[in-house]
């Protein structure tokens, strides 16, 4: 199997790593690059736990070929916090929007993508944005409330 | 086609823990030379908040700031024995064990402080901010860190404590089968509103009103989180989730998230929760456990609401459109109960 180099940016930092034919982006990020924040849930695009942003758009890393990251801007939950937590992270904490936490990185990235393209979404738009992400613990309401808190300026930026 | 509205009620008593083998949980608490405490447990936190609650319980009992307590869980090879995180037993069983262990450790901590201050340990109190002082004389004080270091490096004391929760095994009466399987019960009542489409058989939960009695809510935000998420799961069990095939063989059963159905964020019903606090006499600071009982009342309440709406009595879960339609067919159509 041929190894192919992939150069890209991960959360703003230039990265290069080798990928094998057919390797998916989730496996590539976790094993080859070492970013464990995207989670493996179902491996078939049904749960959203692996959601990352590719050039600003949310993608399911488990269904995306690693080669597609060539030259791309990849953002994961590990890159959300700077010196302080990202407002979405603050809001998720304030609203108790995580229990086991497995869906949380995917939820955060789906929410981040929404707010980047639509800073003042309606409740229905928030629901639409996270409808590809499954959560077992929270009953979704705290997650919706957290995203709306950020959208409506109730969390310090 | 008509959409029928109905309301259903259910209430439950939920046993906390179980009787099997006395339901034991152990806890070990010890201080480190920096005056901070480690609580070792073998039960795990699945996200329900057990680490947070046992941390609160340990800090309160020790009389130290919550920041000074670390709860170490999840290595059952090296930790003290525990039956596990199930049966909604964590807060109650582990909490009681943590109190017992923390009391023993606190007593040694106060003895160490008493020796340093040259007073009687019975005259000492903690301020909850990391200081130990003589009652009525706050200036005669020592920090918990200094007491821990004195114990470690001068006195040769171990500031540590052991705790266990165990209930006597209840004998079963051979005549009646009567036994006392649990030590405390939590309670809940739930009122659910539904809409039932008599053409498609679809059931939509439109509103949930609940009251949960959980003993003392040791961490109210965690309790509400548990109840809200758990009731959603109850709604999911009531009307959506099943591992059984629909037609006609197992090959048609769900195999992934595309076919194993659960309500998503767009399928939520407003849920109004009232938390009732009646501290349990044998609970840690009165706490029981809001674990599994958060889901339980939803299922019978939904079934009762469907009966109220269209007169179809469903006796197996989940309430699928097929079951509703078959019931409607057998009854010759919808028979809303509130019109009878």
Count CB-CB contacts under 10 A for residue A82. Answer: 7
Higher per-residue pLDDT: B69 or A2: B69
Mutate to test the interface with A, among B220, B265, B268 (most CBs of A within 10 A): B265
Q: Where in chain B is the domain with CATH 3.30.365.10?
A: 3-16+183-331, 25-165
Contacts of B225 in chain A (CB under 8 A): 96, 99, 138, 142
Return the CATH fold of A87-151.
Answer: DNA polymerase; domain 1 (1.10.150)
Count CB-CB contacts under 10 A for residue B265. Answer: 22
Count CB-CB contacts under 10 A for residue B250. Answer: 9
Mutate to test the interface with B, among A39, A96, A129, A139 (most CBs of B within 10 A): A139
pLDDT bracket for residue A51 (50, 70, 90): very high
Return the CATH fold of A3-79.
Answer: Ubiquitin-like (UB roll) (3.10.20)
- Per DSSP, B189 falls in state E
- Residue A157 reports pLDDT greater than 60: no
Q: What is the pTM of this model?
A: 0.92
**Where do runs of H (alpha helix) occur along B190-335?**
220-239, 298-310, 321-331
Strands A73-75 and A51-54: antiparallel
Which numeric CATH code is attached to B3-16+183-331? 3.30.365.10
- Residue A70 reports pLDDT greater than 60: yes
- Mean pLDDT estimate for chain A: 96
Render each residue's pLDDT in chain B as its tens digit; 340 residues.
Answer: 799 999 999 999 998 988 777 889 999 999 998 999 999 999 888 888 999 999 999 999 999 999 999 999 968 888 999 988 888 899 999 999 999 999 999 999 999 999 999 999 999 999 999 999 999 999 999 999 999 999 999 999 999 999 999 988 888 899 998 887 778 899 999 999 999 999 999 999 999 999 999 999 999 999 999 999 999 999 999 989 988 766 677 788 888 898 898 999 999 999 999 999 999 999 999 999 888 999 999 999 999 999 999 999 999 999 999 999 999 999 999 999 876 5
Domain boundaries, chain A: 3-79, 87-151
- CB pairs < 8 Å spanning A and B: 63
Residue written as token pair 């079934």? B303
Distance CA B89, CA B24 (A): 10
Nearest alpha carbon to residue A68 among A8, A132, A1 = A8
> Which chain A residue has its CA at the smallest distance from B52's CA?
A99
Distance CA B107, CA B111 (A): 6
Q: Which residues pair with B196 in a beta bridge?
A: B4, B203
Average pLDDT over residues A4-8: 97
Contact A42 B224 (CB under 8 A): no
The two tokens of residue A34 are 């070492």
Task: Identify the three-state secondary structure at position B240.
Answer: coil
Task: Among B46, B230, B268, select the one facing A141 at the smallest CB separation.
Answer: B268
Per-residue confidence (pLDDT) for residue B258, from 0 to 100: 86
**Cβ density class B287-320: b for 16+ within 10 Å, e for less:** bbbbbbbbbbbbbbbbbbbbbbbbbbebeebbbb
Q: Which residues pair with B207 in a beta bridge?
A: B193
Q: Concatenate the DSSP letters of all residues of A73-102 into one string.
A: EEE-GGGS-SSS--HHHHHHHHTT--SS-S
List pLDDT tens digits, range B24-79.
Answer: 999 999 999 899 999 999 988 888 899 999 999 999 999 999 999 999 996 888 89
User: Which residues are CB-neighbours of A34 under 8 A, at least 6 positions away?
Assistant: none
Contacts of A141 in chain B (CB under 8 A): 228, 232, 268, 271
List pLDDT tens digits, range A101-140.
Answer: 999 999 999 999 999 999 999 999 999 999 999 999 999 9
Residue written as token pair 């086609």? B1
> Looking at CA atoms only, how far is residue A94 from chain B in angstroms?
10
Distance CA B299, CA B11 (A): 10
Task: Among A44, A46, A127, select the one facing B265 at the smallest CB separation.
Answer: A127
- Residue A40 reports pLDDT greater than 60: yes
Contact A138 B225 (CB under 8 A): yes
- Kindly report the backbone phi and psi dihedral angles of residue B45, in degrees, each rounded to the nearest multiple of 5, phi listed first: -95, 115
List of long-range contacts for B315-319, beta carbons under 8 Å, 24+ apart: B317/B237, B317/B238, B317/B242, B318/B237, B318/B238, B318/B239, B318/B240, B318/B241, B318/B242, B319/B203, B319/B238, B319/B239
Query: If 0-12 CB within 10 Å is exposed, 13-18 middle and 19+ buried, where does residue B247 land?
Result: exposed
Distance CA A103, CA A139 (A): 12
Contact A96 B256 (CB under 8 A): no
The complex's ipTM? 0.90
> Looking at CA atoms only, how far is residue A40 from chain B in angstroms?
14
Contact (CB, 8 A) for A68 and A45: no
Q: Is A99 on the interface with B (CB under 8 A)?
A: yes
Q: Is domain B25-165 given the CATH code 3.40.630.10 in the classification? A: no
Contacts of A134 in chain B (CB under 8 A): 257, 262, 264
- Per DSSP, B248 falls in state S
């Amino acid at each position: 199997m041929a190894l192919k180099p992939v150069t890209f940016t991960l959360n703003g930092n230039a990265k290069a790593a080798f990928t094998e034919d057919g390797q998916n982006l989730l496996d590539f990020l976790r094993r080859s690059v070492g970013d464990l924040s995207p989670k493996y849930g179902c491996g078939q695009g049904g749960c959203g736990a692996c959601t990352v942003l590719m050039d600003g758009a949310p993608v399911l890393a488990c269904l995306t070929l690693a080669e597609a990251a060539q030259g791309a801007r990849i953002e994961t939950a590990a890159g959300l916090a700077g010196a302080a937590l990202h407002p979405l992270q603050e809001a998720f904490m304030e609203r108790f929007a995580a229990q086991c936490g497995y869906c949380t990185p995917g939820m955060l990235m789906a929410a981040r993508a929404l707010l980047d393209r639509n800073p003042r979404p309606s409740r229905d738009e928030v629901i639409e944005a996270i409808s590809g992400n499954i959560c077992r613990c929270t009953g979704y309401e705290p997650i919706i409330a957290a995203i709306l808190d950020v959208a409506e300026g109730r969390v310090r930026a | 086609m008509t959409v029928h509205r109905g309301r259903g009620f259910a209430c439950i008593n939920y046993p906390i823990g179980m009787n099997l083998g006395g339901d034991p949980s152990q806890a070990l608490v010890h201080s480190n030379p920096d005056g901070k405490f480690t609580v070792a447990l073998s039960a795990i936190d699945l996200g329900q908040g057990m680490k947070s609650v046992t941390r609160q319980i340990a800090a309160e009992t020790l009389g130290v700031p919550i920041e000074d307590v670390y709860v170490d869980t999840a290595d059952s090879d090296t930790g003290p024995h525990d039956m596990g995180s199930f049966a909604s037993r964590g807060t109650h069983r582990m909490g009681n064990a943590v109190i017992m262990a923390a009391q023993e450790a606190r007593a040694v901590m106060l003895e160490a402080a008493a020796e340093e201050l040259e007073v009687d340990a019975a005259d000492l109190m903690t301020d909850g901010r990391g200081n130990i002082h003589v009652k009525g004389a706050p200036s005669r004080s020592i920090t918990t860190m200094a007491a821990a270091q004195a114990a470690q490096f001068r006195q040769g004391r171990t500031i540590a404590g052991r705790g266990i929760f165990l209930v006597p095994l209840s004998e079963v009466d051979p005549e009646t089968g009567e036994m006392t399987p649990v030590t405390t019960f939590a309670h809940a009542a739930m009122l659910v509103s539904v809409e039932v489409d008599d053409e498609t058989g679809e059931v939509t939960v439109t509103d949930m009103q609940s009251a949960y009695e959980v003993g003392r809510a040791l961490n109210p935000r965690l309790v509400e989180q548990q109840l809200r998420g758990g009731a959603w799961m109850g709604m999911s069990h009531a009307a959506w989730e099943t591992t059984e095939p629909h037609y006609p063989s197992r090959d048609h059963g769900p195999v992934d998230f595309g076919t194993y159905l659960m309500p998503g964020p767009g399928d939520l019903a407003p849920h109004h929760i009232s938390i009732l606090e009646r501290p349990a006499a044998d609970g840690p600071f009165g706490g029981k456990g809001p674990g599994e009982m958060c889901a339980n009342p939803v299922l019978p309440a939904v079934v009762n609401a469907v009966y109220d709406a269209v007169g179809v009595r469903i006796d197996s879960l989940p309430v699928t459109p097929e079951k509703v339609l078959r019931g409607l067919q057998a009854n010759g159509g919808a028979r809303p109960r509130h019109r009878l």
